[in-house]
Amino acid sequence: DGGITQSPKYLFRKEGQNVTLSCEQNLNHDAMYWYRQDPGQGLRLIYYSQIVNDFQKGDIAEGYSVSREKKESFPLTVTSAQKNPTAFYLCASEPGQGINEQYFGPGTRLTVT
């Protein structure tokens, strides 16, 4: 899992509540990413950030929000507008320019009932 931490590993919430997933990296990487993984599906990009105070929507950004106030932190908020939030969420980081390996965190499994 490299130097990326995600917390908590398991998270349970009631429908209609916002919830924030934590992602921290100590690798001094510029770029950070949030993915969603559903059973039998490939990873889908939610948001990504190439630099502090800047981020871009991915393929499935609706119902999610992010912030990048610090280089090492990229929290993801799952809002009540997200229709089907139950999933496995993965955070990743990479150094930035060039061909680099993306390092993934251990993931957070969110269950909304």
Partner 1 sequence: KNQVEQSPQSLIILEGKNCTLQCNYTVSPFSNLRWYKQDTGRGPVSLTIMTFSENTKSNGRYTATLDADTKQSSLHITASQLSDSASYICVVSGSSTLGRLYFGRGTQLTVWP
- Contact residues: partner 1, CB under 8 A: 1, 4, 31, 33, 40-45, 48, 50, 88, 90, 92, 94, 97, 99, 101-107, 109
Q: Would you state the torsion angle of the CA atoms of residues 72, 6, 74, 88, taken in this order, to the nearest 10 degrees?
A: 150
Distance CA 83, CA 43 (A): 18
Give the residue with the Cβ less far from partner 1, 50 or 86: 50
Give the residue with the Cβ less far from partner 1, 27 or 45: 45
Helix boundaries (H) for the chain: none
* Residue that the structure tokens 């799952």 belong to: 78
Give the residue with the Cβ less far from partner 1, 37 or 80: 37
Least spacing, CB of residue 99 vs partner 1, in Å: 5
Least spacing, CB of residue 111 vs partner 1, in Å: 13
Least spacing, CB of residue 90 vs partner 1, in Å: 6
Distant-in-sequence, close-in-space partners of 108: CB < 8 Å, separation ≥ 6: 6, 7, 8, 9, 10, 11, 21, 88, 89
